[in-house]
Structure 1
Amino acid sequence: MATKTYDASKLQAFGNAAAGHDGVLSDEAGSVVIKPCTTSEITFYESLATHPDLARHLPTFMGQLFLSADSTAATEALESGTIQTNDGTVERLHGKKLDTELHIVLENITHGFKKPNVLDLKLGAQLWDEGAKPEKRARLDAVSEKSTSGSLGFRIAGMRTYKGADLPDVPEGLKEFVDVDKEGGYWVYNKMYGRKFGAEDVTEGFVDFIFPGEKTEEELDRAREVLAYFLGEVKDIQEVFEGKESRMYSASILLVYEGDVEEYANTKQILRSAHPEDEDEEDEETLPKLAEVKMIDFAHASWTPGRGPDENALQGMRSTARILKKLLDKAQD
């Protein structure tokens, strides 16, 4: 793999996250995500070398780096080469300074989309690992009990949908859950949006994601294709997990598709005319995307030989697959 060098003085806040913590950065090209992490998350990604069937469902691990406000250099390790800083200072999302030195460098799943629509589904009814303190357990148990985490094994943790240049007004009933990104043309749904749903109505959240605009014939065609792809990928991930002995508390499934309807149609034409067998790996990485599904967030992930599959996370995958199947069947009627 070719070594990459990043000028960390040019790192910028990552703008396509649907959920998660502050402090997520990206390079100028937008090809990688750089986020604060724990050593256990690095260890987990390194262990994927012996789990290639799972690794393909996760963002590509590029390595780790250290960013420090009192250092003149950021030291990168593993595959991705070196990252150099001028003054060692980088801004966190919302303007706060980084307070964690260790960062993980991952493939940016939204890279290759013009206007990525993003849905983050937090897996599990139990959201804490065995190392969590009693107060954290109680807090997360309360979140689970009052949301679809407890009933379905997942909840909507965040969402971004492209609404176009002429942004519609946010309905009164959604104003407390939606921020408007006027420059990008997005509605950005906060973490409380997903917590308002119960098992009986959470499908509405998926509908808001799959049909962010008018249900034109173009949008219906896109919805059928995207739902079929999402369903296939989620079932593939489920099948892999059923064969693993692991515990992955608070991991997420990220669903992404091209939000610009015209760009989606153009991308289909480009991909039809492309011949991957004639392209090298670098050229393939520049191709636009229609949709993507990946698992993310492994700060509390571990392999647990002898303890069987992770039914906590699997419950959420199965519930997600059922909802996607229901929506796909309806879209095909």
Structure 2
Amino acid sequence: MEIGPTQTLNSQVGGHTDGSLLRKAVLPRELEICQKLLYDPVLEALRPFTAKFLGTLKLEGEVDQSNPITANGGIGIKPIDDHKDELFWTIQSMVLENVTYPFLKPNILDAKLGTILHDETTSPEKVERMKKTAGDTSSFETGVRLTGFQVHDNATSLPVITPKSYGKSIKPSDLPDGILRIFPVGQAPRSSSGLPKQTLLPILHAIREDVADIQQVFTTLEIRMVGGSLFIIYEADWARADNGFQRLWLDEGNEGEEEHEDEDDDEDDRPGPPFVVKIIDFTHIRMAPGEGPDEGALLGFDTVLRLLDARIASIEG
């Protein structure tokens, strides 16, 4: 697999992008879960709600002494030759679907799930720090923390990024205000953030449905969701969001019908999806057979559903 020059994602998800692909460092537990998602029937129901895992990529080379530091601050690598005494580098990456790629102006929410922020490998000192963090934020009481988000400004067409520090600074009572900031209603002539009411409401209802579906899957799984996130993306461009939702509605209405060749669209001409809901970051997630569902994660889903219900009601009212 060949991957060209990459760039760091502006959103909260870690890694480097190359168009439709996301490349990130290999971590054993995350790689194990991603591989299980491909073949393990236990995780089959969760598969549609995760980024597609496309395999691993190994880059090998030697440090280029004539160009040790590249323009972007990385290590200069030259192809391997017969000089094995030179410093040798092997870089292994996981390659995943970049779920933000189809969006023109992605509004993004990374919501950390669960009441426990440490796993069994965490040192005792860090466990105490993580317990304090959970108690001092919204994690312990609600099972969710708004890790960070970005919402496009319609006046500038640029994303306004709210950092992780925001989620660590707010209490459970502040979560509704955070959801309002993530899902604002836009007003003509598009001088503020947000989609118009008639577009935002059906997208919110559909996002809520996906979150409820994921929660139902988690009631059947025996895993521990330490550090995992609910990742919600929706289109900020008014026309593209509306067209994408209309296309989604038509596709669902035609589901099961035979497709005709003259009806096939060029993939590049299709509007992107109006929204996507995924579970991401499996670095500390583990299978837990015999331990039952993760009650902390389920609490987090309950909280997100209540927040979405309240936001929908406030817009409808």
Q: TM-score, normalised by structure 2?
A: 0.81
Aligned partner (choices 109, 128, 138) of residue 99 of structure 2: 109
On the 8 A contact 1:267/1:290 being kept in 2, the answer is yes
Specify every segment of 5 or more residues in structure 2 that has no aligned partner in the other structure, as ranges. 77-88
Secondary structure (helix, strand or coil) at the match of 2:2 reads strand
| Deviation of the 1:212 alpha carbon | 6.5
On the 8 A contact 2:203/2:245 being kept in 1, the answer is no
Q: 1:326 to 1:273 in 2, by over 3 A?
A: closer
Give the 5 Å matches for 1:299-318: 299-318=283-302
2:79 corresponds to: none
- Which has the greater radius of gyration? 2
2:146 corresponds to: 156
2:269 and 2:126 mapped to 1: Cα distance? 42
| Deviation of the 1:159 alpha carbon | 0.4
2:134 and 2:260 mapped to 1: Cα distance? 46
| Deviation of the 1:317 alpha carbon | 1.0
**Count of residue pairs the alignment pairs up:** 289
Secondary structure (helix, strand or coil) at the match of 2:112 reads strand
Q: 1:202 to 1:273 in 2, by over 3 A?
A: closer
2:241 corresponds to: 264
| Deviation of the 1:139 alpha carbon | 2.2
On the 8 A contact 2:56/2:93 being kept in 1, the answer is yes
Residue 297 in structure 1 maps to residue 293 in structure 2: no
1:54 corresponds to: 46
On the 8 A contact 2:204/2:308 being kept in 1, the answer is yes
1:102 and 1:36 mapped to 2: Cα distance? 7
On the 8 A contact 1:163/1:212 being kept in 2, the answer is no
1:278 corresponds to: 259
Aligned partner (choices 155, 158, 162) of residue 189 of structure 1: 162
On the 8 A contact 1:243/1:309 being kept in 2, the answer is yes
Q: 1:134 to 1:56 in 2, by over 3 A?
A: same
1:241 corresponds to: 218
Letter in 2 for 1:250: G
| Deviation of the 1:69 alpha carbon | 6.2
The C-alpha deviation readout for 1:156-194, integer Å capped at 9, x for no partner, is 111011102x34xxxxxxxxxxxxxxxx61101100111
Secondary structure (helix, strand or coil) at the match of 2:126 reads helix
On the 8 A contact 2:20/2:97 being kept in 1, the answer is yes
1:203 corresponds to: 176
2:197 and 2:46 mapped to 1: Cα distance? 31
Aligned partner (choices 44, 59, 63) of residue 55 of structure 2: 63
On the 8 A contact 2:187/2:196 being kept in 1, the answer is yes
Q: Kindly, what percent of the aligned residue pairs are identical?
A: 28
1:293 and 1:43 mapped to 2: Cα distance? 22
Give the 5 Å matches for 1:51-130: 51-67=43-59, 70=62, 95=73, 101-130=91-120
Q: 1:265 to 1:66 in 2, by over 3 A?
A: same
2:26 corresponds to: 37
On the 8 A contact 1:67/1:88 being kept in 2, the answer is no
Secondary structure (helix, strand or coil) at the match of 1:120 reads strand
Q: Structure 1 stretch 53-62 or stretch 206-215: which is displaced more? A: 206-215
1:325 and 1:294 mapped to 2: Cα distance? 19
Aligned partner (choices 1, 6, 13) of residue 2 of structure 2: 6
2:82 corresponds to: none
| Deviation of the 1:96 alpha carbon | 5.8
2:249 and 2:273 mapped to 1: Cα distance? 12
Residue 227 in structure 1 maps to residue 204 in structure 2: yes
1:84 corresponds to: none
Letter in 1 for 2:288: T
On the 8 A contact 2:50/2:279 being kept in 1, the answer is yes
1:78 corresponds to: none
Secondary structure (helix, strand or coil) at the match of 2:196 reads helix
1:326 and 1:123 mapped to 2: Cα distance? 19
On the 8 A contact 1:234/1:317 being kept in 2, the answer is yes
Letter in 1 for 2:54: M
| Deviation of the 1:39 alpha carbon | 1.5
| Deviation of the 1:89 alpha carbon | 8.7
Letter in 2 for 1:309: P
Letter in 2 for 1:43: E
Q: 1:62 to 1:130 in 2, by over 3 A?
A: same
